[in-house]
Amino acid sequence: MIEFQTHPDRYRHWKLSVDGAQARLELCVDPEHPFRDGYELKLNSYDLGVDVELADAIQRLRFEHPEVRAVVLTGALDRVFCAGANIVMLRTSAHSFKVNFCKYTNETRLGIEDASSSDRLRFLAALNGTASGGGYELALAADRILLVDDRNSAVSFPEVPLLGVLPGTGGLTRITDKRKLRRDRCDVFSTVAEGIKGKRAVEWNLVDDLAPLSKWDEAVARHASELAAEIVERPGPGVPLPAVTWEETSDDAGRTTLSYGFVTLTLDEASRTAELTLEAPETCPTTEDEAVAAAAGWWVLEAYRQLDQAILELRMNFRDIALVLLRAKGSAETVRATDALLVGAKHWFVQETAGLVRRVLKRLDLSSKSFYAVADEGTTFVGTSLELLLAADRSFVLNDPDIEVHLGVTEANRGGFPMSNGLTRLETRFLGTPEAVDAVLAHAGQESFDAETADELGLATVAPDDIDWEDELRLAIEERASFSPDALTGMESNLRFPGPETMETKIFGRLSAWQNWIFQRPNAVGERGALVCYGTPNRPEFAIERT
């Protein structure tokens, strides 16, 4: 089982140090400790374990070190920043793992960019040596890139010429949409295995500045200080993040349940379905001071950290699960009171908690699973919890006057948690009928409404009565689980993000389609494919047809 919980005390691959307003994350990959046996992590190449530590470090800097305003990402090896994703790891991994690995690393890089766009942290990629493939893609996530000028170190995307695949964690999109390189220069850069260095790298905007070895430390300090000055100081102690824990139980039917506390994940591997439930408590903080005092025990922070863990478990450890049934339960008043704090957040800790909720909901959007929201007895799809229903591919709402089904809207649904396309989930749902968004939001601040009203507002895909409920839901579940996972992944990726295209939607659209396809092609992974032949005496052989 892949483990996503870690702590700086247990890092094997990163060294995290904090000095006042600046932090330093130094990549020092332990080659003898990959996350699974079978390969060596040479030249600061990375695998999932390396990225789990990086994601953990970024999260902890946001919550545990409010004093930090700039982070220096650099390497510990001489003349090497990062050689990118480990090729043997990719070559020996299942296809589904490869794509999910690329998705996770991309979300980690987007987390870096989110911290910057939220004016929480600025990042300097101090490339002390060559940055190849995913190593350069990590640098691209930073606000500024400094490259050592030693006549040897370069930045490169060698995937096309050496591996027969694409820069899989957003590289092509970031050099075009973020760094805004000319198309012809992008074409050259992406087909030159040795990369580009020195003044040419600056001229092409592949990096922002150069520094010789003799002035390296001075240049790093200057750039980090300039970036830190862009962020407003945040007073107050940090909030330590304890590990997310859970209890595992099994029933006589062979179902496994992971109980996290506010989140429960029940897996039925025989039917390839799972039930994921988030339950709000009966009481909660109602002021920012109370939320700050609750610290990591604030229910919404706990709940969404637990939800994040459950989503990652579904992605990486239960890849055969086809369909996830989403439920929201508990106190609607708790959700409303919490949403009022998240939307009007003034304290940095409350702001960071709202940011974490936003990122977890995005991870749900981007997961290659089918999601059905199920609103039956005891349901409280209200406010932030309503976002779960809006994120689902379909919503089933039980229309029975004798059974309480609560749905409701808060100000959080107005724009607190935008999707990767930059729109709210309501705006995305009603892209062709924006007046429907206004009709739903008109209920903000009011009491919960019933299934009939939810159906009238367009929040239900179907709203069967109690006679048809069980059969209609059962048939829909069985049908979905029977479809081709490949077809569903492509369909869902197309349908979930209508409207404006952003850098994020481009990255994940390409990941779900282009890279998903290329990773299975013989030119990459066939007997004489480039990914298979890399590092061996064999030369790749390519099928020459263009498709």
Tally DSSP H helices, then E strands, for the chain: 22, 19
pLDDT for position 493: 86
* Residue 297, Cβ density class (10 Å: 0-12 exposed, 13-18 middle, ≥19 buried): exposed
Q: In this predicted model, which residue has the larger pLDDT, 144 or 509? A: 144
The pLDDT, as a whole number, for residue 38 is: 92
SS3 label, residue 450:
coil
Which pLDDT belongs to residue 86? 95
Task: Give the tens place of pLDDT for each residue, 203-212.
Answer: 999 999 999 9
Give every CB contact of residue 464 below 8 A, 6+ residues apart in sequence: 396, 398, 399, 472, 473
Predicted confidence at residue 402, as pLDDT, reads 86
135, 514, 527, 547 from 543: Cα distances, Å: 29, 17, 12, 11
Provide the whole-model pTM: 0.96
- Interatomic CA distance for residues 348 and 325, integer angstroms: 34
The enclosing H or E element of 209 equals strand 209-211
pLDDT in tens, 305-318: 999 999 999 999 99
The residue extents of the domains of the chain are: 8-228, 247-487
Q: What's the pLDDT score for residue 513?
A: 77
User: Which two tokens mark 398?
Assistant: 């039980």
Given a cut of 80, whether residue 394 has pLDDT beyond it is yes
Residue with the bigger pLDDT between 513 and 519: it is 519
Sign, Cα dihedral of 275, 281, 284, 286: positive
Classified as helix, coil or strand, 373 is strand
Is the pLDDT confidence value at 235 over 90?
no
User: For residue 342, is it left (φ>0), alpha (ψ between -120 and 50) or beta?
Assistant: alpha
- CATH architecture for segment(s) 247-487: Alpha-Beta Complex (3.90)
pLDDT tens string 47-61: 999 999 999 999 999
* Cβ 520 vs Cβ 529: under 8 Å: no
Matching CATH topology for 8-228 and 247-487? Answer: yes
Structure tokens at 115: 């911290």
- Find residue 209's DSSP bridge partners: 146
pLDDT 10s digits, 237-271: 999 999 999 999 999 988 999 999 999 999 999 99
Instruction: Give the CATH number of domain 8-228; options: 3.40.50.2020, 3.10.129.10, 3.40.50.720, 3.90.226.10.
Output: 3.90.226.10
